Amino acid sequence: MSLYELLGTLETGFVFGIVALGAYLTFKILDFPDLTVEGSFPLGAAIAATLIVGFDINPWIATLAGGLAGFAAGFTTAYLNVRFNILHILSGILLAISLYSINLRIMSGPNKPLLGVDTVFDSFVIDGVPSYIINPIVLGVIALAFKLGIDWLLSTGLGISMRAAGANPAMAEANGVNTGNMKLFGVGLANFLTAIAGALFAQLFGAADAYMGIGVIIVGLASVIVGMSILPSGTIFLATIACLVGAVLYRLAVAFALNADFIGLQASDVQLVTAVLVALALIVQQSSFGKGRKGKKG
């Protein structure tokens, strides 16, 4: 693998690290399996692309706007669940399906090219340093910033309420936590992150595409699972690191599959490789410890 490809893997890894943080929030913290991300990832991309290309909006603002749209999508999913008691998985699927059509409308087509326009990465052009070195660093910093933000949030009064709402909703309610509101905010926030990741990815990829969301949930979950099985994750601070690392490892596995003609693997075998990787991680998690996981020292 060339250095170029390795750095490219880091780029994609950090973008999906942000997605993994969102999956961590919903699946692990809130205990709310959220499938909205299949729709909110391309939603962020679609909004950002349309604003940048069609309305000449600053790419940072466009990316943020994409994120806010993602928040609205996640909020809606949680609202369907909290207010109307629709099963969380179903709510997420409903949103993802609707967002497909909505994204087509936003982009007036299945694809919106982002070539030759300003992207957020253009803010970091340094003479003499190629972008393929700068971009992973920029994305790494952004991913780290979001990670630290989540760490901080989960240590606040609001964050503890969210954690309790996911871990023991009855006890949380008895302690004054409005678990419904926690879901609305938490699922919204997770999809804010995912949409931002989508917007960033589109600017890397060169286009926003309505099919971009396919498989995002698997990647997010696999990243969280792999990361948290292999790395110590007893505290929130460690767990979020594990999510980012898991995402990068996942992308490395894909790169491995792409370069592995020596054992006959092709890109179409990526699904198998990632499934094997996730299975390995789960087996490792099972065999090392049963219940003692939570009190682990680093």
Question: What end-to-end distance do the CA atoms of the chain give, in Å?
Answer: 32
Q: How far is the CB of 64 from other proteins (least distance, A)?
A: 20
Q: How far is the CB of 87 from other proteins (least distance, A)?
A: 21
| Closer by beta carbon to other proteins, 4 or else 90 | 4
| Closer by beta carbon to other proteins, 128 or else 176 | 176
Contact (Cβ atoms closer than 8 angstroms) between residue 198 and residue 41: yes
Q: How far is the CB of 141 from other proteins (least distance, A)?
A: 20
Q: How far is the CB of 105 from other proteins (least distance, A)?
A: 6
| Closer by beta carbon to other proteins, 90 or else 148 | 148
Q: How far is the CB of 166 from other proteins (least distance, A)?
A: 8
Q: At what angle do helices 270-288 and 236-259 cross, to 10 degrees?
A: 140
| Closer by beta carbon to other proteins, 55 or else 294 | 294
Which residue bears the tokens 């709510």? 91
Q: Distance (Å, rounded) from C-alpha 164 to C-alpha 152?
A: 16
Q: Which are the contacts of 190, defined by CB distance < 8 A and separation ≥ 6? A: 21, 22, 23, 25, 26, 34, 37, 74
Which residue bears the tokens 């940072």? 60
Q: How far is the CB of 65 from other proteins (least distance, A)?
A: 21
Contact (Cβ atoms closer than 8 angstroms) between residue 30 and residue 165: yes
Alpha carbon 105 to chain centroid, angstroms:
24
Rounded alpha-carbon distances, angstroms, from residue 287 to 110, 277, 281, 290, 293: 45, 16, 10, 7, 11
| Closer by beta carbon to other proteins, 86 or else 252 | 252
Q: What is the dihedral of CA 28, 192, 183, 290, to 10 degrees?
A: 0
| Closer by beta carbon to other proteins, 126 or else 294 | 294
Q: How far is the CB of 201 from other proteins (least distance, A)?
A: 7
| Closer by beta carbon to other proteins, 182 or else 190 | 182
